[in-house]
Structure 1
Amino acid sequence: MKDTRQTPRSASLDAPGLAPRRAAADAVEAILESGHPLEETLERLTRGLDDRDRALARMIAATTLRRLGSLRALLRTLLERGIPEKARRVEVLMLVGAAQILFMDVPDHAAVGTTVTLVGEQASTAGFKGLANAVLRRITREGKAVLPDVADQPEWMVEGWTAAYGPAAGTAISHALAAEAPLDLTARQHPEMLAEKLGGRLLPTGSIRLVEAGNVTALPGFDEGEWWVQDAAAALPALLLHPAAGMVIADLCAAPGGKTAQLAAAGARVVAVDRSAPRLRRLKANLARLNLSADIIEADATRLQAGPFDAVLIDAPCSATGTIRRHPEVAWTKAPADIASLAALQARLLSHAADLVKPGGVMVYSTCSLEPEEGERQVAAFLERRPDFVRDPVTSGECGIAAEWINTQGEVRTLPTHLPDEDPRYAGLDGFFAARLRKG
């Protein structure tokens, strides 16, 4: 049988609303089977759809993945016999349908009707149309009251956060990651004026926060390169270097270039290093739009021969568990073994980067991970190996950083529960770790 996930159907052949829901289900199924990134998967599966349907497909897929833990638990309570292994797609389709009913502002009849139609499309699943219809209609009747009180992320992740931050914080982090993230922007210059122009909020760190922004590329200032998308927490590591004209800074693992842009906009000469040619092409395109420049090197940062530099920024490859609000597939494409292998790579990056820093220079190490193995423990182990480096503690208020974002060692540790707001749409940060280290 032809795999419909590989060749998206023409929307003109479908009933209204069916094509984006099919694409969403195909994306969820592909991610759970193969672990591909959500955005790349949707880019392939939504070709030919208009902007509105593409946005709907993304919202459905992201919501399903973001609430997957409780949605799966719900189906287990409603399906006494479960779903046969050969019909796993039925489960995916019911998860997508339930996500729309419980967590999205779409008509219940549209969610039920399109899901049942999709179940009937393939011979291997058509026999489950009646079951899918009955389950989804029960969910529409009972609503969130039937939803089990369980975590929306894998058990091993939540247990790790509980061990690291305490039971209450672990639960709060899990709940915060189930919410959709707002849109944060970094201004090339004059953030106060840009915030007013866009109708956004200027955060204490200088980032601009928007909600319900719609098509990002249609926002004022995009074509003129006045800003770029960057979570407020992700903007902190570059700020900790206090970049300025005359400084020569290496940005390791630089693509897609948000931190490179920050450093360049501050007047520093930036050497942007990444091993991925496709990602560097994206970095070049981003810098061109922003009218900024950097020296770009395609290389493995663990083997780079350059410098010495006034400062080095390492935004290291990591599990990205702190970005689950924005990239909900991360919760379901990572395993404990990934943490160990990434930590080994991070250690190699730190050790090599240390040799690129001139005496008296500064190195900032950061990850968008909530796992201590990739943050606090990584830096502690590095300092044991390299007594020529010491922590350069971050102080409360520096770069707009709140005291609660700084640990006892003077390192930055943001959590998804930080930056609360009465309007939950404006609340939260990505989970980030950053340590500033100075060479003796």
Structure 2
Amino acid sequence: MPRNPITARALAVQTLRQIDQRRGFSNRILAEHFERHPDLERRERGLTTTLVYGVLRHRGRLDALIDAAAARPKALSARAREIARVAVFELRELQHPPHAAISQALGLATALDPSGGLARPLHAILAAIDREGAAFDARLATGKPLDVLANRWSIPRWLAGRWLAHLGPDLALARARALAEPPAVELRVDLSRTTAEDVAAALREADPKAFVEQLPDQPQALRVRGGGELVRHPLHERGLFSIQALGAQRAALALAPCPEEHVLDACAGMGTKSLQLAELMRRRGRLVAADASEVRLGEHAGLRRRGELDGPEFTFTTVVADLAAPEPQPGVDDTTYDAVLLDAPCTGLGNLARHPELRATVQFDDIAACADLQRRLLDRCRARVKPGGRLVYAVCSLEPEEGPRLVRATCDAGGFTLEHEETWTPEAHHTDGFYLARLRPA
């Protein structure tokens, strides 16, 4: 007999357990689970995604609610707590009918333990939250700002304390609220081959329920809600748009590479910014994409095809290189460059909405470790800039040690001046937190 198809809630629990155990990126682990269940209906895939990301964004709050309602919170197993988190998120955030959320959770619990030993305490917890959830949430939202940030808005206490010191309570709470919201999908349109209006029209035609917004201050950007899995759209396959957050788009724009220039993408990763640089260069000139990971650079083969980067006037080269290393890196250090983009590895703490698993995986000591790596990368990249050239440094973090404090220390050391900097914040721009600075040789 064929197996019963997996439900969205069961798949969400499996995915959340894997994210917790592997401490991996949520989007990659969720994609792996979807690949194992290719017949899962679009509606179920959408609900799974909502549950996974919602639980990760609200995990601290969900645990506080569960602990307030449970007779013996520490007695809950990790799997039982994950089932409870999913159900409580449905009850409190999605406002799903209680009978549906609770019965589905109890079904999962019973499948794990037919004796009912798991389902009985779970039922008591969920029934209490169904009755008193609003009062529980109201208590979590009052008290000391540190407690509110941690318990109501699921910000790690160590990070909440930093925000209160740097931002003050009002701005810290505004940032926490913004990072609790599901982010829109943000796109970058290849204006060298199409228009934002044409892409927006195609997206609306493919899904009339999709909300597609053009942004007046970023003519190549679109913001989309409810458009489905856009990586499967034919225009994405052809490279006419790429999925890229608004702040991240700004780094290549600030570098402003020109046709015929020699450009280095110093930490190219999977190549989203490499393709943007090629677009801005009008596919004329030389672009070197370097990264320490051969696996990440392997994604550039598809990028080359999507972006039509094999033209007669454009040379696109990928190089496996550790640009933080003191020794010369063949294929990169053979010359200097008109423009260098350093989108440096960072804590990613500006991405707590889009990558909410970072709330649990990033620790205080990671800031200093990332800042040390960023300093070494910045020092090495400065040496690769031609006289009269420019360097853009960027991170998807708003922590001062990874952004303005590091850049100012670099400029104080001599040789480069700060020409321009930008900060994008979730509370002000409704997008990921992002910092960039453009430096020029003095």
Whether the TM-score (by the shorter chain) exceeds 0.5 is: yes
Q: Deviations over 1:315-345 (max 9, x none)?
A: 0011111111111111111111111111111
Query: Which residue of 214, 224, 229 maps to 2:228?
Result: 214
Q: Quote the Cα distance in structure 1 between the aligned partners of 2:351 and 2:74.
A: 31
Q: Could you tell me which residue of structure 1 aligns to residue 200 of structure 2? A: 195
* Superposition pairs of residues 25-64 of structure 1, within 5 angstroms: 25-46=13-34, 47-49=36-38, 50-52=40-42, 53-64=44-55
Q: Deviations over 1:390-411 (max 9, x none)?
A: 0012xxxxxxxxxxxxxxxxx2
Question: Quick check: 1:276 aligned with 2:279?
Answer: no
CA contact (8 A) 1:306 1:356 kept: no
Does the CA-based 8 Å contact 1:198-1:220 persist in structure 2? no
Return closer, same or farther for 1:125/1:33 CA change in 2, 3 Å cut-off.
Answer: farther
Is residue 392 of structure 2 the alignment partner of residue 392 of structure 1?
no
Cα separation, 1, equivalents of 2:235 and 2:269: 22
1:191-340 equivalence runs, <5 A: 191-199=196-204, 200-203=212-215, 204-206=217-219, 207-219=221-233, 221-267=235-281, 268-292=285-309, 294-303=316-325, 304=329, 305-340=333-368
1:70 maps onto 2:65 in alignment: no
SS at match of 1:114: helix
Question: Is 1:158–1:171's contact at 8 Å kept on the other side of the alignment?
Answer: no
Spell out, residue by residue over 1:237-294, the C-alpha distance to the aligned partner (whole angstroms, 9 max, x if none).
1100112201111001112212111110112532111111221122331332122352
- Counterparts of 1:3-18 in structure 2 under 5 Å? 13-14=3-4
Partner of 1:117: 107
3-state DSSP of counterpart to 2:246: coil
Relative to structure 1, the CA distance from residue 365 to residue 106 in structure 2 (aligned partners, 3 Å threshold; closer, same or farther) is same
Partner of 1:326: helix, strand, or coil?
coil
**TM-score, scaled relative to structure 1:** 0.86
The answer on whether the counterparts of 1:83 and 1:90 sit within 8 Å (CA) in structure 2 is no
In structure 2, distance between residues paired with 1:40 and 1:221: 22
Question: Aligned with 1:73: secondary structure?
Answer: helix
SS at match of 2:63: helix
Letter in 1 for 2:262: V
Residues 163-186 of structure 1: per-residue CA shift (max 9 Å, x gap)? 222221111111100000001111
Identity of aligned residues (%): 31
Aligned twin of 1:396: none
Q: 2:308, 2:97 → 1: CA distance?
A: 45
SS of alignment partner, residue 223 of structure 2: strand
1:151 is displaced (CA, Å) by 2.3
Please point out which of 131, 134, 153 is paired with 2:155: 153
Q: Distance in 2 between the 1:171 and 1:320 partners?
A: 19
1:335-365 per-residue CA deviation (whole Å, 9 max, x = no partner) reads 1111111111111100111110011210000
- The alignment's TM-score, normalised by the length of structure 2, stands at 0.85
**Deviations 1:187-222, CA, capped at 9 Å, x for gaps:** 111334433443522211221111111121343522
Cα 1:142/1:327, change in 2 over 3 Å: same
- CA distance in structure 2 between the partners assigned to 1:124 and 1:412 by the alignment: 56
- 2:396 corresponds in structure 1 to 368
Secondary structure (helix, strand or coil) at the match of 1:392 reads strand
Structure 1: where are the runs of 5+ without partners? 1-9, 394-410, 420-427
Q: Write the distance in 2 (CA, Å) between the matches of 1:318 and 1:94.
A: 32
Is the 2:65–2:129 contact (alpha carbons within 8 Å) kept by the matching residues of 1? no
SS at match of 2:228: coil
> 1 CA distance for matches of 2:254 and 2:411?
19
List alignment gaps of at least 5 residues for structure 2. Answer: 142-151, 205-211, 311-315
Task: Give the aligned residue type for 2:200.
Answer: A
Distance in 2 (alpha carbons) for counterparts of 1:414 and 1:68: 25
Runs (4+) of structure 1 exceeding 4 A deviation are 123-126
Q: Deviations over 1:12-61 (max 9, x none)?
A: 634x7x53322211222232333111122223334125242333222211
Contact 2:367 2:401 in 1 (8 A): yes
User: Aligned ranges for residues 84-103 of structure 1 at < 5 Å?
Assistant: 84=75, 87-103=77-93
Residue 423 of structure 1 is matched in structure 2 by none
Equivalent residue pairs, number: 401
Closer, same or farther: CA 248–351 of 1 in aligned 2, 3 Å: same
Closer, same or farther: CA 216–144 of 1 in aligned 2, 3 Å: farther
User: For the residues of structure 2 that align with 1:162 and 1:260, how far apart are their CA atoms?
Assistant: 36
Aligned in 2, Cα 1:263/1:367: closer, same or farther, shift over 3 Å? Answer: same
Query: Which deviates more from structure 2 when the two are superposed, residues 64-73 or residues 184-193?
Result: 184-193
Contact kept? 2:424, 2:431, Cα under 8 Å? yes
| Alpha-carbon distance in structure 2 between the residues aligned to 1:163 and 1:287 | 45
Task: Tell me if structure 1 keeps the 8 A contact 2:70–2:124.
Answer: no
Residue 23 of structure 1 corresponds to 11
User: What is the identity, as a one-letter code, of the residue corresponding to 2:419?
Assistant: D
